[in-house]
Structures are given as structure tokens and as C-alpha cells.
Structure 1
């Protein structure tokens, strides 16, 4: 996928996110991102792409930015009207090495021209023990199956240009860059429905899915930490206090002295 095709696919994703299925996905991802980012501490956090959600809304870092490939029009009071602070090519992040504590990639890698390069750049800009959160469509789901059949029939449910990456494969990519996955989640278990009415009819599947078919959610989220070889966090050095000598009661010392003297006299 070249850069022009990547840009077209991102535009297609923007349109899809306004559909009932897109709203359904955004609601699940926003809720989970709020829970995951609330307790991640540091100074600098960046959300790359997909301004339709605020991935850093619940995070309390002092410096938070939304970055994308292009500025967005500020029209109305919609989520898409959020201001983009930085614009760039996904494969060349304009941040200093080891300068960010948290990077969130909502559906960036599957629509990027060079997903491996994007991940390498994320690893570069993260500080040691910095974290990345990745959202993606699950190819091993009912939606993934619909995506495959759409390439044959021409009737696409999801944006057709996306190259969806399975969670195990994503974890392998992260592992190669010394970023270990710490948490993973699946969600949106309803079938590929185009209307809100039909999505509501399958709402029971979101309650049953995590228990009965946990790995078949339409979307997933992976949280990983950048590990640096030869570096580990060191806690406070607690010194063991020397054991205090056991005091012998005066009466015991006196009795012991008397018995010793009696043995000598005898």
C-alpha cells in the first residue's frame, strides 16, 4: 500500500466511523481507552490518528497532543472537530527519541503504508518503560470474515483497503521491538450489521462474547511496555536492621552466677 492509497483508506475509515457500526466501535473503544489510560502517568502523551475519539480524555499527563496526517476542519460540535496539533507522515514521527511516555494508535497500523516502520518509530520516541496502546480490527471474527468475502463479492462492510492484523501477529511485531504486551482485550461481538436496529438486537452478544467466544470480537486493543535490555527499575534499598542482643533478666544472671560458684566450692 503506497502513501496515496493509505490516505484514501484513512478517508474511507473516517466515513465508515460515522455509520451505526462505526459508532458502535467508537463507543466500545472510548470506554476501554478511558479505563486503560487513567492510571498511566508521565509527562507527554500522543494520540496518532482517528480524532473521532479522544483516546487521552481520562489521562492526567500535563502535555497531551492529537497528531494526524492532515489538519481537520473545525465544523460544528462533533468529535471530528478536535484540533490536530501536529501533522506528519506516520512513518516519520516528528518527536525526539525517548521523549514520550504514552502513544495511542487507534486503527493506524492497518491503514498505514508501512506499519512496521510506524511501530519502529513509536519504539524510538517512547522512553524506557513507556507504553503504547494499539486498536485494530480482528480478522478472526465475523467482521473479518465479512471483510474477506467482500473482496470477492464487492459488497464491503469495512473499509476495503485495510490490511487487518491479527492480535498474535501484532504481539509478535511488538516482541521483535522489545515491547512486551501487558494487556489485551476483545470487544464488539455483534455480527456485521449495517443498521442500529439490528446492532441493538444483538446486544446480548456483547455480554456473552467475553465468556463463550472471547477471541472473536470484531475489534481488539493491545497495551505494551517498551523494555530496554540491561535496564530495570530499582526500588528503595531497605537495610536489614541488626538483631538486638537478647537481654537476660537480672534474676536469671544472679541464679546462674550462684550455681557456678556452688560448683566451684564443691
Structure 2
């Protein structure tokens, strides 16, 4: 198993069109995100990375939304994603789309998200699946700076479990490498997504942060007022008259 952290310089992705079938991939991701955020509540929504900021989240009940990336236009906050300028437990919902695929230290990125999420915060995350046709193609150019670093969905789930997240939803989509044109290819795409989901190109997860509060242990039953005093008890002896 390859290590998660790497010293290799990775070129960040700033637009969906830089990805394979990016326009179709954006549309499919948009539909899943729209459904997932419809019932998320709180005060602050954070979209991390250029691809996340280009998704529409107007239907989310959370009105204060922050677009965060290292640079670019229409970015509300420019910051290193691995060192976010937020206080602990302040973000209610975080969207992270394909950022693990191009991160040099995905562990640090997830730890930073865990730090800023509230105790019941939600993380929406997606990435490429290495056990797919797309994953097989990337094996041919492993050292290319534009090549995504593919981590298996189960490995990402293990990382999230270690941080205390519970997986609420997991889906796979984009079974075919090319845009399905015609009813036959469209039928094959739907068939693969339904019956062979683990071989689709992209995984999509919704994780909920689970923090068990400390409950004080109640003492056993005791009377409010002490009934028996610890001091020795003296008794009076009655003397009967001799008749």
C-alpha cells in the first residue's frame, strides 16, 4: 500500500474541464450534492477547493456559505487547505470534491476538516475510485504531475472512522470512460452503476461527525439527611422502685 503523504509536486485542479469528462462529471456530482445538502442545517457552510466552489448550493438551508481555495476568482477566502484559518468546531457543513486526489498530504487535510467541524458536523466528499477503468488508465502514467492520486473508498472510510466520522451515504457513479452517446451506451452506464458500483470511476460519500459526550456517573442512592450519627449512642437505664 502506497503512503498517503508524498513529496511529489502536484498540479492543482482549478476547473472541471481539466478532468476527464469533466463537464458530465460536474453535472452528476451537482445532482448528488444537491440532494445531500437539502436537509443539512446550521450556520456556516464551507466549500474547499476550486471544484467544490463551482458547485451550486442555493438549495441548502445554511445561508452563510464560504468559498475557500488557495487562489483564483470568486473565492471568498484564500488559504492553504491544510491550515485553515477557522476556530475549532465552527463549521457545520464542509464540501470536499476531488481534493484528496490531488493533495500531497490527505491525512492532514482530513484532520484539519475534523478540527473545524462542529460536534455533529457533516462532510461531503468525493474522489476517483482506483478499482475502475479510469484507475487502470492512470496506472500507465503514475509519475505525471497531472495524474490524480487514487485512494480506494474503503481506505478513505478507514481514515474517517479513525477521526470519529460515521458514513451516512455512499454511492458510485460514472461507469464509462467516455460520454455515453446513444441508448446502448446509456443503458450500459446505468447497468454498471446499479449492479457493478465498485467498478465505477467516482465515489461519493456523506459522513457525519460523531462525538460522544461525557456523561457523569451518578452516585448510588443516599438520603439527603444522615439518619444515623457516627457518634456513640448513650441509653438511659430506668430504675424500678422496690416494692
Q: Classify the TM-score, shorter chain.
A: 0.7 to 0.9
For residue 192 of structure 2, what is the aligned residue in structure 1? 209
Identify if the C-alpha distance between structure 1 residues 27 and 69 changes in structure 2 by more than 3 Å, giving closer, same or farther.
Answer: same
Distance 1:182 1:215 in 2: 17
2:173 to 177, 180, 187: 187
2:90 to 99, 122, 133: 99
Task: Answer whether contact 2:47 2:53 (CA < 8 A) is retained.
Answer: no
In the TM superposition, 1:7-86 aligns within 5 A as 8-11=11-14, 15-17=17-19, 21-49=21-49, 50-51=51-52, 53-72=54-73, 83-86=74-77
Identify if the C-alpha distance between structure 1 residues 163 and 140 changes in structure 2 by more than 3 Å, giving closer, same or farther.
Answer: same
Identify if the C-alpha distance between structure 1 residues 215 and 51 changes in structure 2 by more than 3 Å, giving closer, same or farther.
Answer: closer
For residue 3 of structure 2, what is the aligned residue in structure 1? none
For residue 200 of structure 1, what is the aligned residue in structure 2? 181
Distance 1:14 1:60 in 2: 26
Distance 1:110 1:31 in 2: 21
Distance 1:147 1:161 in 2: 7
For residue 136 of structure 1, what is the aligned residue in structure 2? 127
Normalization by structure 1: what TM-score?
A: 0.72
CA RMSD of superposed structures (Å)? 2.2
Distance 1:60 1:231 in 2: 30
Distance 1:31 1:95 in 2: 29
Identify if the C-alpha distance between structure 1 residues 55 and 128 changes in structure 2 by more than 3 Å, giving closer, same or farther.
Answer: farther
Secondary structure of the 2:110 match is helix
Identify if the C-alpha distance between structure 1 residues 115 and 128 changes in structure 2 by more than 3 Å, giving closer, same or farther.
Answer: same
Provide Cα deviations, 1:128-158, integer angstroms capped at 9, x if missing partner.
Answer: 1100011101111111111113449x8xxxx
Q: CA shift at 1:51, angstroms? A: 5.0
Normalization by structure 2: what TM-score?
A: 0.78
Distance 2:193 2:52 in 1: 28
Q: CA shift at 1:99, angstroms? A: 0.2
Secondary structure of the 2:208 match is strand
Distance 2:52 2:120 in 1: 26
Provide Cα deviations, 1:7-65, integer angstroms capped at 9, x if missing partner.
Answer: x2425x65524x6x111111110011001111111110011011573152321212011
Task: Answer whether contact 1:70 1:87 (CA < 8 A) is retained.
Answer: yes
| Equivalenced residues, count | 207
Could you list the runs of 5+ residues in structure 1 that have no partner in the other structure? 73-82, 233-266
Bigger helix fraction:
1
Distance 2:63 2:53 in 1: 22
1:218 to 201, 207, 225: 201
Could you list the runs of 5+ residues in structure 2 that have no partner in the other structure? 1-5, 216-243
Secondary structure of the 1:143 match is helix
Q: Which runs of 4+ in 1 moved over 6 A?
A: none
Task: Answer whether contact 2:173 2:202 (CA < 8 A) is retained.
Answer: yes
Distance 2:202 2:122 in 1: 20
